[in-house]
Structure 1
């Protein structure tokens, strides 16, 4: 509480930078809104209101609006659609331009063929393909239905209507089925038809080569290797729909530049090396929502704190960040920190105004906002200046954006790390999966084809005979358990314990399972089987960890929550990366770190964007403590 209402935060005032801004005009047509016009010209509604202060949200037809023209861009009205030309400025990159106009690399190069031969050069005038032309080549986005999801929840998640969802997936009109592979946006990728060569037009010919699948390779790793989506790879090789098998001969693009990045980055303890002496700027966009708290006439502040979990999470994260800021000040690090109230909900925020009013284009790193879609919006607004935006709490995969960094590993990354660990130990991997978990079975078949599914009895339980028949002597047999059914868990554990006299066995779960924590499951058996699982955080009993917790407790009179620790770890990690005489982006590409309880091992996502793959593999040890598996 004292942090939220009493502590003084030194807000750094960024130097005002004045840009010469050209404008164009737009005549309002019947039914148009400010939001639609802003999207058309790729500006914000705030930009339009700024130049047209007298204009209300409800526009009158034939009203003439002033529209700001982006730096380096000329927008020319042309028969109800905008043709955009962009003049390349110093320090601009293809990624930056593509993200600025929300176009793909393929579409931009198709509209400007000279980019393939000459590359990007200062002063070039690029044609930005219109949305209508790009619509047919929009990349398909899919969603696999999991238990308890509805058409409404899926449509809401992706910002579409149920009617639009059913139009793209007519099979779900009668009802939704768990495990269904739904098309959300874009068009399904179909095999290309032969192009008829016309006179005067040279038709490019795609060249392919053959690749033999090696052990441990998956559909996901192969798609990354050849810079294709999984759907594109399956179009070239329809047999992949039945799973990846060692020795398969795949048709892949010739002369592929492999995008494989080392999955085992070296972890380093960062020390301050800022010899240049220039001060770094960090901005925190946190959802305090002060106006709502002050405007709440029904609940007192104390009552709101008792009930508002989101506010408590924010205050905990902020308290941890403050401790990181204090540590930086103690170390004498030349860092200025600004803290802003993002005033965000799941679908709204104040970030556009904050960024514009406070010139956050000059920041070295922005931490926040909390909600994934708001973090993505901040990243888009700051992409032209290539300012790194860290999404500190969201586990969502989200939209890949070049300057967006997901600080929390996604569930898919957690699972992949778990399977990679078991493979590194040359383990025999088995899975006991409830028949109701269709999405888990589908995931294993598509992404972990070397994992064998243990057959179940008619009543859904596991027999010791079935399990033992699949165990291998002399190797660790990892049994991945995916069910919330108590009886199924008991029979699996009993079968594993009975096999321990002749085999090496270890129980594995991919995510928290409340049933395992119930009194019906014998905890001693979980210890005996050394229950293992992937985790974003670890237990910390180091001297430094004890010092941190004592200091936090002394200041706040409570022990730090996981959110407070994440607030410290994310903020301190960002600060130390800026003290390496390199940009945040450069250190993220080359250095992995471990703070008190969180790892930060950033890797490029499939295509663009940055995901944290810093995951701990933990297990129950015989001394009843949780330890990190090596």
Structure 2
């Protein structure tokens, strides 16, 4: 569906086209977040950012002047000192005197001729200065990009270089050294010796030697040079025994660190061979992990714990069935009947008190190890009590005690509780942990300034924006332009919305032009300093997405695809916002299973949709198939024979043929009578079910139900805002553009790392789309969030999630 264009909206589009390539900046206040490195102090950080210690303390009230900083503490550093003072006074603090820090003058300059592919960022890292330091003495860089062959003046400052390394000599966790040297040795450099060799000889890092021999920051070691070699005391960390750990499929650094109660940084310390520039772990890879520092979770789930009962008593509620019991407790119908003879005799009836076996109560033939393979875990939050735990986890407190006997002694913040893995469908679960609901809007860090690139084929190379009549015709003919304009119009509203929440963002849009060539994409990536971006949204075509993902994979920059499902391009930094057909099919079948009691399942599928038919049969083995005449028409008498008058009928129609879809809908509706109740489903809503071609009244009569990547736009505030800005109602592309941009910006504003946020934030939902990303390693991150939609009284509504009340 394209963009609706009246005259007013068309004028807006033309103006919009003219400014598309201009960076869209919305400013709040100027801040930066700084993760404290080992050895850093308030004084060294203040010098790095050229602000006073008092300025930093204004925004970090838990830090006291002179206090030793803990590594990995996140500090908010105001880059505008005057703003820091004003904000402090407005917040009721004592006025802060803004210290005017004189800009440090360089002691000398190094001349550097820019090489191919070098950037300001890489040069700043190479010479241990900031990009602004280089620009200050090379004024032309304020107006133009760095080019090959440019001769630069690189300033050299007399600065103390903060050592951020940790010295280890083996894979032992105990061999860690203090940061301050307790003595020095004078060492005379011999012929052919290198800094690397000397550092290995004395078991210190090269940076530690440079720190106390500052001439080495600009010169190499030479024969006869006298160096001061620092010596550090070893820090003994007791009661930690290391053991080997073999990485399993789909495990991540975070999941392994979490399992053993250590940080990812500690995991890197224990395994120095792990690359620092990538989070990749290979299945079968051997790691060193602490044997005794096991997280509380594992101590709660030891096999054969005597505190776990054999059975729990359960009262059967109305409309309960064996399938839902199995989903809730992981116990089969046969097992329930085996230990409850009355159920075997009379069936499952409302009000019955039955026994349900825990994992301990299973027979030896089906007993599993009680660990993360069959349990999920929940960490108790501060202030949670019996009622809030029961509400958040959807179980009674007595049932929680049955699986977690330690609760009898009281609820404590940080306790790790376990539930059967069969309950996973009720929560967002990653790496066996139930993710808490995180409100991203309430978790915004205004000190973070997300920087995002947008790549879309607006096709300004094909549209004459100076000629209104020609431009309108060209836009009407170009689907790629209409989709791009729809996406970007929604993105503009997302920028305005996030700006109102106090977040500074930097979003730059580029026209990728043709979707059949990646030349323009390559040109954009070559011109831009892509290392500075927190995320890239777009382009639209698979070939261009692959090119962007390839160029940014080494920099660990997330690439968000607005309109593609999972692609086999082999780059793990890609986020696919559209759920795949397999995910859509699985979600609708899970939904039908959740409402299934004893309905009669019938399948109408053509030969091209055998995969869908087989999936339905696998889920419902008693389902019946309708044979088609020439793969196109239904034998009405045979279908009538397959339908039941005793129970309701669920009919699946699987086709991409419009003629068969219309025919099947008409025939099924004709058989939907007072004595034969029929509801129609499909696992794949394609053009064959287009509402403009298929009778909506018939679909409404059949409560037609299907999986969808998006829902109807019902947010009146969004509609009103869009109409005010663009003069027309938003379409699905505009809503999708808003949702994707808003989701990315909120996540970056929460924690400026989309990869990390995706591990800890579950499902998010906005105007008409929702997102829940699962990491499939080299296949990237796939969206598993799906809407189940239903025709009802001539309206299309989202079906409420059916959660078994057990």
Correspondence 1:589-604 to 2 at 5 A: 589=759, 590-604=761-775
More divergent stretch after superposition (508-517 vs 592-601): 508-517
Is residue 395 of structure 1 aligned with residue 500 of structure 2? no
Change (3 A) 1:528 1:386: same
Counterpart residue number, 1:510: 683
Does the 8 Å contact 2:700/2:795 carry over to 1?
A: no
Superposition deviation, residue 604 in structure 1? 2.5
Distance 1:611 1:462 in 2: 40
Does the 8 Å contact 1:355/1:361 carry over to 2?
A: no
Distance 1:495 1:369 in 2: 42
Q: 1:547 aligns with which of 717, 732, 736?
A: 717
Counterpart residue number, 1:498: 671
Change (3 A) 1:438 1:281: closer
Superposition deviation, residue 2 in structure 1? 1.1
Is residue 580 of structure 1 aligned with residue 765 of structure 2? no
Counterpart residue number, 2:576: 406
Q: 2:515 aligns with which of 326, 341, 345?
A: 345
Structure 1 residues 164-219: Cα deviation after superposition (integer angstroms, max 9, x where no partner): xxxxxxxxxxxxxxxxxxxxxxxxxxxxxxxxxxxxxxxxxxxxxxxxxx989xxx
TM-score (norm 1): 0.57
Structure 1 residues 20-77: Cα deviation after superposition (integer angstroms, max 9, x where no partner): 89xxxxxxxxxxxxxxxxxxxxxxxxxxx979xxxxxxxxxxxxxxxxxxxxxxxxxx
Does the 8 Å contact 2:441/2:746 carry over to 1?
A: yes
Change (3 A) 1:275 1:316: closer
Change (3 A) 1:602 1:289: same
Counterpart residue number, 1:426: 596
Distance 2:446 2:694 in 1: 59
Correspondence 1:466-505 to 2 at 5 A: 466-467=639-640, 469=642, 471=644, 473=646, 477-483=649-655, 484=657, 486=659, 490=663, 493-495=666-668, 498=671, 500-502=673-675, 504-505=677-678
Is residue 5 of structure 1 aligned with residue 176 of structure 2? no
Does the 8 Å contact 2:560/2:575 carry over to 1?
A: yes
Does the 8 Å contact 1:324/1:572 carry over to 2?
A: yes
TM-score (norm 2): 0.46
Change (3 A) 1:90 1:116: closer
Superposition deviation, residue 334 in structure 1? 2.4
Distance 2:527 2:697 in 1: 59
Counterpart residue number, 1:179: none
Is residue 92 of structure 1 aligned with residue 277 of structure 2? yes
Correspondence 1:218-367 to 2 at 5 A: 262=424, 264-265=427-428, 269-275=439-445, 277-293=447-463, 300-367=470-537
Superposition deviation, residue 470 in structure 1? 5.5
Counterpart residue number, 1:130: none
Structure 1 residues 345-367: Cα deviation after superposition (integer angstroms, max 9, x where no partner): 23424334433432222221211
Change (3 A) 1:7 1:92: closer
Is residue 616 of structure 1 aligned with residue 787 of structure 2? yes
Counterpart residue number, 1:16: 121
Is residue 536 of structure 1 aligned with residue 709 of structure 2? yes
Is residue 382 of structure 1 aligned with residue 552 of structure 2? yes
Distance 2:616 2:445 in 1: 52
Distance 2:465 2:713 in 1: 40
Counterpart residue number, 1:628: 798
Distance 2:476 2:511 in 1: 21
Distance 2:578 2:660 in 1: 33
Change (3 A) 1:551 1:215: closer
Distance 2:665 2:476 in 1: 41
3-state SS of 1:454 partner = strand
Superposition deviation, residue 278 in structure 1? 3.3
Counterpart residue number, 2:185: none
Distance 1:11 1:514 in 2: 36
RMSD of aligned Cα (Å): 4.5
Change (3 A) 1:553 1:118: same
Is residue 455 of structure 1 aligned with residue 468 of structure 2? no
Distance 2:574 2:776 in 1: 10
Change (3 A) 1:351 1:446: farther
Does the 8 Å contact 1:375/1:391 carry over to 2?
A: yes
3-state SS of 2:510 partner = strand
Does the 8 Å contact 1:268/1:592 carry over to 2?
A: no
Distance 1:301 1:402 in 2: 39
3-state SS of 2:789 partner = strand
Superposition deviation, residue 521 in structure 1? 6.0
Unaligned regions of 5+ residues in structure 2, if any? Answer: 1-13, 26-118, 127-146, 150-271, 290-321, 325-364, 377-420, 429-435, 801-806
Distance 2:750 2:21 in 1: 29
Structure 1 residues 107-150: Cα deviation after superposition (integer angstroms, max 9, x where no partner): xx7xxxxx42559xxxxxxxxxxxxxxxxxxxxxxxxxxxxxxx
Change (3 A) 1:606 1:581: closer
Change (3 A) 1:364 1:513: closer
Correspondence 1:82-231 to 2 at 5 A: 91-93=276-278, 95=280, 105=282, 115-116=285-286
Distance 2:492 2:738 in 1: 7
3-state SS of 1:340 partner = strand
3-state SS of 1:325 partner = helix
Change (3 A) 1:481 1:569: same
The structure number with the bigger radius of gyration is 2
When the two structures are aligned, how many residues end up with a matched partner?
425
Change (3 A) 1:92 1:450: farther
3-state SS of 2:474 partner = helix
Superposition deviation, residue 414 in structure 1? 1.7
Distance 1:523 1:302 in 2: 32
Distance 1:573 1:506 in 2: 35
3-state SS of 2:121 partner = coil
